Chain A
Amino acid sequence: MTAQPPLLDVQGLSLEFRTRSGTVQALDGVDLRVARGEMVGLVGESGSGKSVLGYALLGISDRAAAVTGGRALFGGLDLLQADERTLADLRGREMSMIFQSPRTALNPIRPVGLQIEDVLRRHAAAPGADLSRSLRQRAVQALRDVAIADPERRVDAYPFEMSGGMCQRVMIALALACRPRLLVADEPTTGLDVTTQAAVMDLIATLARERDMATVFITHDLALAADHCDRIVVMHAGHVVEAAPTRALFQQPRHPYTARLMSSTPGAETALADLAPVPGNLPDLRRADLPACRFAERCERATERCRTARPPLQAVDADPTHTVACWHPLGTAAVPTAAAGTPVALETLDG
């Protein structure tokens, strides 16, 4: 990356949920850096804390959530310390989010055009706002930007009159209406067909490139992340376990969890017997006796040290961009179990 400070710099973010059945340590010392115009993939199983991190950045966490440490610097401002008013001004204008299920996230009894106008009106003074045109014209343009056919007519449609892919485009239009600098896309293509998924991902990538927008792309689909992301950050049970440029990660995953995730994803050449799932389940994050490395109980390489001392996220060898939090990272020798999922992604990167 360049010498200029990252657009988003999350350092040691810890967050817990205080529930009746105990305190869930959902995020524990999470680091995440995103540069301008960069697309960073956040991958991991459900429950690894990906969405919680996204919500925390936008200050829309559940009421039971409490930030217990860390900073999240966004253009010099610590998002975790900012008051609600400041955040409300930022949301939709400087940073916005695409949610997982567009049908639930959109207002079902309001035409989509008006929903876009709401955002535009709230941030009328957004930089780059084109005040020469009416809100409606700008809403139509926002729909046109996301390649919705016949936007003049669609602007009056209700979400139920649109297909799932179309609703997702409306969500994207909504999120990008004020040209934010940071987009958090939380599983934006879950539930969409592969053809629609490809179109939606292309759209996000194209708009991000055109507008020099940074994107945090949350997904559990490694192959999809590999197709579109510059860097990938792997999370497990509220810890970042590995972060690397996409190509480097697929060439040589260093963390045993990353390798296992890859080997459990079926690719075009995978045989059923090649699939090597991650053993066990995510640990219960309410436990007081969590091992220091939260993957230790699922890991074949774990030793006593893994249970007692948390491995820092650090560069494995000469490459400072490839960091891993593991006492026993996978070596340069090929990882047999990871081989299956790997070549698919690599060829994409070459192409």
Chain B
Amino acid sequence: MAERLSAATSAPPLLRVESLHKRFPVGARRGAMLHAVDDVSFDLPAGQSLGLVGESGCGKSTLVRVLARLLDATAGRIEFDGVDLAAMPAAQFARAPQRSDIQMVFQDPTDSLNPRFTAREAIAEPLRLLAGLRGNAIDARVDEVADQVGLPQVLLSRFPHQLSGGQKARVGIARALATRPRLLILDEPTAALDVSVQAVVLQLLDRLRRELGLSCLFVSHDLNVVRLLTEQVAVMYLGKVVELGPSEQVFRSPRHPYTQALVSSIPGQGPRIRLTGEVASPIDPPAHACRFHGRCPRGEDRCAREAPAERVVQGHRVACHFAGELPGVSLATAA
């Protein structure tokens, strides 16, 4: 196990993920397995945010779905407040007390809200199902949480199609916050929004997580957005975390060649590191090769023979043989 960066904080983490694996059987061949999440470990201290970035197909959505216990893990531990949630089947977890502690904000509020529920009904549903509230208690809590997310009372009787994108995003957030979760998982919460609405929602999320002391897992492909809302960031590539460290540092001086390419691809960053080749298949990947080999600008023969162990370089956890010697790419904007 690699050293834990966040162990620097003395309090035990709210969420501790240890060697988490998720594999899916694939129909093509008998016994063929798609390694969606492969040996992922990290700590998330209470009140902190961790960003998850990586290309589509890297396993970040599968990871958060396993963590939200919508999917069962193949192996590994998910310690939430000291309790191993991975041991509990997903079907059983739906009725577990921790269900209301971990809530999720989904990507597209248009798709994730029931079109036949008013905003009030959408926000009330988890209160009825998870918190066991009834009658006036539900209404009171809905009013309270709507107020927290800045959703005017008059909008609560509206249906999703009568709301703007930003208003729907607020309903999605209010619904997730209704049961007073301690961990909020946000899967691309602003991807469907216009920049100006996105700016409002980002500021709202930041205020909420401070006021409510929330821990957040923040999945996004927009690295600038991740940087704004998180203390730490984990970069995933083909099921593996290839780099993990303080967000500001990871973006300023990425150590893993993949992170360097990713950061250099942000529009407005100047010279780009161009990746060639295709992403390798996640189905039964070779155990003794770096997943990034073949696309990596730095790759050598060794990378095809020996999977790189995680090491800590200047406060980042990096899984690369050459992490120590790679020059940190200093970006024009960081100068």
Contacts and interface: CB of A to CB of B under 8 A. Distances in A.
Contact of A264 (B56, B199, B222): B199
A261 B196 contact: yes
Contact of B194 (A45, A195, A202, A224): A45
B314 interface: no
Interface in A174-223: 193-199, 202, 220-223
Contacts of A195: 55, 261-262, 265, 275
A289 interface: no
Given A265-B195, A270-B224, A278-B196, A347 B265 contact: no
A267 to B, nearest CB: 6
B192 to A, nearest CB: 10
B278 interface: yes
Given A195-B262, A268-B333, A348 B206 contact: no
B221 A275 contact: no
B55 A226 contact: no
B282 to A, nearest CB: 12
Given A46-B194, A261-B195, A268-B251, A197 B265 contact: yes
Contact of B332 (A193, A199, A281, A351): A351
Nearest to A45: B194
B333 A344 contact: yes
B197 A268 contact: no
Contact of B221 (A194, A261, A276): A194
A227 B268 contact: yes
Contact of A268 (B262, B268, B275): B268
Contacts of B198: 264
Interface in A235-290: 260-261, 264-272, 275-278, 281
A275 B199 contact: yes
Interface string B268-281: 11111011011100
Contacts of B266: 194, 223, 268
A149 interface: yes
Given A347-B333, A351-B270, A264 B275 contact: no
Interface in B185-232: 194-200, 202-203, 206, 221-225, 227-229
Contacts of B55: 193, 195-196
A5 B91 CA distance: 67
B164 A281 contact: yes
Given A195-B261, A198-B272, A272-B206, A227 B332 contact: no
A69 interface: no
B228 A266 contact: yes
Contacts of A12: none
B331 interface: yes
B296 to A, nearest CB: 13
Contact of A199 (B56, B165, B222, B274): B274
Chain B: interface residue count, which band?
35 or more
Contacts of B271: 351
B267 interface: yes
Contacts of A266: 199, 202, 222, 224-225, 227-228
Contacts of B197: 277
Contacts of B279: 163
B334 interface: yes
Contacts of A29: none
Nearest to B269: A268
A149 B262 contact: no
A164 B199 contact: no
A343 interface: yes
Q: Which of A195, A197, A265, A271 has the most CB of B within 10 A?
A: A195
A345 interface: yes
A277 B199 CA distance: 6
Q: Which of B203, B269, B275, B334 has the most CB of A within 10 A?
A: B269
B103 to A, nearest CB: 22
Contacts of A198: 265, 267, 272, 274
Contacts of A194: 221-223, 262, 265-267
A196 B58 CA distance: 13
Interface string A312-351: 0000000000000000000000000000000111011001
A269 B334 CA distance: 8
A227 to B, nearest CB: 5
Contacts of A45: 194-196
Interface string B158-194: 0000001100000000000000000000000000001
Given A46-B194, A163-B57, A268-B331, 6 more contacts: A45-B195, A195-B262, A202-B274, A227-B268, A269-B333, A344-B268
24 contacts: A163-B279, A164-B56, A194-B265, A195-B55, A195-B275, A198-B274, A199-B275, A223-B268, A261-B196, A264-B198, A265-B195, A266-B222, A266-B225, A268-B224, A268-B269, A269-B333, A270-B228, A272-B203, A276-B199, A344-B268, A344-B269, A348-B332, A351-B270, A351-B271
